[in-house]
Structure 1
Amino acid sequence: MNQFGGAAPALEALPHLARKGGRLIPPRIPSRDEAEKELDALERLGGRLIILGDRIYPQALRVLDDAPPVLSVRGQDAVLAAPKVAIVGARNASAAGRTLAARFARELTSAGFVVVSGLARGIDTAAHEASLQGGTIGVFAGGLSRPYPAENIPLIEKVAELGAVVSEMPLGWEARVRDFPRRNRLVSGMSLGVVVVEAAERSGSLITARLAAEQGREVFAIPGSPLDPRAGGSNRLLKSGATLVTEPQDVIEALRPLLERPLPGEEEGRMEAPRLPRPDDTGPPETVRARIIELLSPVPTSLDDLVRLSGASAAEVQVVLLELELAGRLERQRGGLVALI
C-alpha cells in the first residue's frame, strides 16, 4: 500500500508483481463477497478483526518488524491494551511446575499484568486457569475456528469470555507443526517479558525464549533440579544469561521500569510505516533486477547491503523483494533480513 499509493492499486499490482518474481500462476485476489463471508463467519463465532493501526492492537507487538498486519480476536479490549507477561513451559509439566506457574500468574495479574500463553497442556494451562479473573490472552497456532488441543476447548471458551484469544491465521486454518514457532513469536512479541517455568532441552518454550531475546524482551527462568529432564532447558537458559527468578516479585520489579519508557521503535504508541519513493509502472530495469537477485541467497541479507552492493535505490530493491516474496521464493526474517527459500 505504501509502495503503490493505496489498497486498490496495490491489489491490482499483485498478480503482475508475482509473475515478475517468477510465479507462473499468479495469486488469486479474493472477491469482496468472499471477504465479507469470512468476516461474517468470524462475527458469528463472536470475533472481530483488528489491524496494525488500531488503538487496541497490542502495543508491544506492533513495533516488531514482522508484526501481523491483521489479528482475529475474541474477547475483551482491555486485556489487549494492558501490559503483558508470557508464562510458558513443558506440556508434561510436574505438579511443582504447574503450582509455580499458577502462583506466578495470579501474582502477576494482581500487579496489573495480563498473562499470555499458548493454550497448550501443562504449564500453559496452569497459567491461563490461574489468571482467568485477572486477565489472560491465549494465542492460537491455527485459526480461531480450529481450537487446539481439543481437551482445552472448555478453557479456551473461558479465556475468550473473560480475557481474549487471538490468531494471525485465516479463520479455518488447521495448525501445522511449523505454525507453532510462528505462534510463539506472538506470545513473546506482545509481552514485556517471558517466564520459562519448565522446559526440556528440545522444547518449544526455548524457541519462545530465543524469540523473546531477539525481540528485545526480558527472559526469565525458574531454576529446576538437574535430575529432572523437564528443567534441562530452563537451567540452560540461566547459564546463557536469562534472569533467575524464584518468586513473582522478581519479575514485577524487573518489568515495572519498562512501563515508564516506550519500546524500541515506538513513539507515543504509534509506529509510522516507511514511505518509499514509488517506482514507475515498469519497475526496475532488468539489469538492476538481475543484480539484486544475484546478491540474494539462503543466507539472510540486510536491505542496506542489497542497496549498497547493487547500486539500486531502496524503492527498486523493495519492489524486487516484493516480487520474489509473492512468487514464494523469498522469506523475510527478523531484524529486516531476507533470504531465498
Structure 2
Amino acid sequence: MDDRSARTRGIALTEKQRIAWLRLIRSDNVGPVTFRELINHFGSAETALDMLPELSRRGGASRSIRVASKAEAERELEIAERHGATFIGIGEPDYPPLLRQIDGAPPLLAAKGNRKVTSAPAVGIVGARNASISGMKFAGLVARDIGRAGYSIVSGLARGIDTAAHRASLETGTIAAMAGGLDKPYPPENIGLLNELTDGEGLAVSEMPFGWEPRARDFPRRNRLIAGMALGLVVVEAAVRSGSLITARNAADFGRLVFAVPGSPLDLRCEGTNGLLKDGATITTTPEDVLEGLRPLAEPDLFSPRPDVREPAEDTPSALRLPPSDGDRERIAGALSQVPAEIDEIIRHTGIDAATVYLVLLELDLAGRLQRHAGGGVSIMPD
C-alpha cells in the first residue's frame, strides 16, 4: 500500500493565496461549491473577492454581501498558529486525496497534528454514541487490525464507537473530523483524547472557523468529511435515525464501500446497521471482512485525481466575460423552481450556453436566492 507518490502531487499555496482563499470561503453565501465555481470562472480568489458585491447585486440581493477582510483572515491564521494548526488547501499535497474528489469538498481544512497520516488510505468507523460494551470492543478490534494493515482510521471524535475507534488507532494513525472549530471539540470529555491524537500519530481536521461552537446542523457536514476521506466505511451499532446512517448514505453516494456489523433485532442500536445489510452493505464480523473488501481498491493510482473533477486553479488566465443579459438572467431564473433541477437540464431547457448559466447561478447563490443540493442539483429559495 505504498502511496507515497500521492503526497508529492499538488502545489503549495502562497501565503497571499492562502489569505485570499480564507477570505473567500469565510464571506457570506460562499460555500465549497460556490467557492470552486468562483475560482473556475474568475481565475483567482482575489478577483472573485472583488466581484462578490457586484455578483450579489446582479442576483437580486436585498442587502450588501459581507466580504471577509484581509485582517479577519490574518487573525484566523494567527489563531491557528497559536493552536499549533495550519490550513491545507484542496490542491496541496497533504490534503486528504479522496476528499478532494467529492462534490463540495472544503477548499481549506484547518488541521492539527501529524499531516503525514493523510498519505495512507483511510477507513471510516462510526456508530452509536450510547454503544454497548461489545460494540465498543469490536470497533476497537477492527480499528486496531485495520490500522496495523496500513490504513488510517477516520471517525468523528464522538462518544461510543468513535472514541473506541480513535483510541485503538492512536499508534497506527487516526483522523478526527470535527463539527466545530479545532478549539471547540465535542463532546468536551474527549478533549484528552483529542490531545493524545494530535500529539501523536493522529490528525484533527475541520472546515469551520476557530471558536465555532458546533450546532446540530454542523454534524451532517462533518459526516460527509468522514465518508469523503475514506475508501470504505464500517458502521457498528446505529439506530434508524442516526448520524451514522447519514455518513453511510454519504459514503454510498461517493462510491465508497459500506460495511455493517449485524446485531440483535431486539437492540434498537442495531436496527440501522441491520437495515444497511438489507440494502446491500457488506456483512462484517471480522476485520478481515473489511480488509478483503478493500484490497482491490487500495492501490497507489487510486489517489490520482479523477479527470472529471475540476480543482480550483489559481493564477490561470481570467475567465472574465461580459455580464449575462437581463433576458438570459430572467430565462434562467424562470426555469428554476423549489424542486431541485440538474444544471445540465437548465442549460438544455433554456438553450443558453453553460458559462452564462453557471454565472447566473453564482449571482443567485451569492444573493442568497439559490439552494444547492447533493448531486449538483439547484433550486430557487422561496420568497
What TM-score bracket applies, with the shorter chain setting the length? over 0.9
Shift of 1:294: 1.3
Correspondence for 1:289: 329
Correspondence for 1:15: 53
The secondary structure found in structure 2 opposite 1:195 is strand
Correspondence for 2:356: 316
What is the alpha-carbon distance in structure 2 between the residues aligned to residue 8 and residue 272 of structure 1?
17
Correspondence for 2:263: 224
What is the alpha-carbon distance in structure 1 between the residues aligned to residue 300 and residue 78 of structure 2?
39
Instruction: Give 1:73-152 correspondences, 5 Å limit.
Output: 73-152=111-190
Correspondence for 2:282: 243
Contact 1:62 1:271 survives alignment (8 Å): no
Moved beyond 3 Å, runs of 4+: 261-265, 270-279
Correspondence for 1:200: 239
The secondary structure found in structure 2 opposite 1:59 is coil
Paired AA for residue 289 in structure 1? R
Paired AA for residue 374 in structure 2? R
Correspondence for 1:168: 207
Paired AA for residue 340 in structure 1? I
The secondary structure found in structure 2 opposite 1:201 is coil
Contact 1:3 1:276 survives alignment (8 Å): no
Shift of 1:82: 1.2
Question: What runs of 5+ residues in structure 1 fail to find an aligned partner?
Answer: none
What is the alpha-carbon distance in structure 1 between the residues aligned to residue 357 and residue 306 of structure 2?
27
Contact 2:43 2:317 survives alignment (8 Å): no
The counterpart of 2:321, out of the listed 257, 280, 284, is 280
Shift of 1:340: 2.5
Alignment pair present for 1:211 and 2:235: no
- What's the TM-score, normalizing by structure 1? 0.95
Q: Deviations over 1:82-109 (max 9, x none)?
A: 1100000000000000000000000010
Shift of 1:278: 3.4
Paired AA for residue 301 in structure 1? A
The counterpart of 2:93, out of the listed 47, 55, 76, is 55
What is the alpha-carbon distance in structure 2 between the residues aligned to residue 253 and residue 139 of structure 1?
25
After superposition, the CA RMSD in angstroms is: 1.9
Deviation larger for 107-116 or 23-32: 23-32
In structure 2, relative to structure 1, the CA distance for the partners of 1:264 and 1:79 (3 Å cut) is: closer
In structure 2, relative to structure 1, the CA distance for the partners of 1:246 and 1:197 (3 Å cut) is: same
What is the alpha-carbon distance in structure 1 between the residues aligned to residue 161 and residue 332 of structure 2?
46
The secondary structure found in structure 1 opposite 2:63 is coil
Paired AA for residue 92 in structure 2? D
The secondary structure found in structure 1 opposite 2:112 is strand
Paired AA for residue 49 in structure 2? L
The counterpart of 1:307, out of the listed 331, 343, 347, is 347
The counterpart of 2:81, out of the listed 43, 47, 67, is 43
Paired AA for residue 144 in structure 2? R
Shift of 1:170: 1.3
Shift of 1:284: 0.7
What is the alpha-carbon distance in structure 2 between the residues aligned to residue 265 and residue 295 of structure 1?
37
The counterpart of 1:335, out of the listed 370, 375, 380, is 375
Deviation larger for 181-190 or 319-328: 319-328
Contact 2:91 2:312 survives alignment (8 Å): no
Shift of 1:279: 5.3
What is the alpha-carbon distance in structure 2 between the residues aligned to residue 161 and residue 71 of structure 1?
18
Shift of 1:265: 8.1
Correspondence for 2:68: 30
Instruction: Give 1:245-264 correspondences, 5 Å limit.
Output: 245-260=284-299, 262-263=301-302
Contact 2:337 2:380 survives alignment (8 Å): yes
Shift of 1:121: 0.4
In structure 2, relative to structure 1, the CA distance for the partners of 1:277 and 1:50 (3 Å cut) is: closer
Paired AA for residue 180 in structure 2? G
What is the alpha-carbon distance in structure 2 between the residues aligned to residue 294 and residue 10 of structure 1?
26
The secondary structure found in structure 1 opposite 2:362 is helix
In structure 2, relative to structure 1, the CA distance for the partners of 1:264 and 1:240 (3 Å cut) is: farther
Question: What runs of 5+ residues in structure 2 fail to find an aligned partner?
Answer: 1-38
- What's the TM-score, normalizing by structure 2? 0.85
Q: Deviations over 1:225-246 (max 9, x none)?
A: 1111110000000001111011
The secondary structure found in structure 2 opposite 1:259 is coil
Paired AA for residue 51 in structure 1? G
The secondary structure found in structure 2 opposite 1:100 is helix
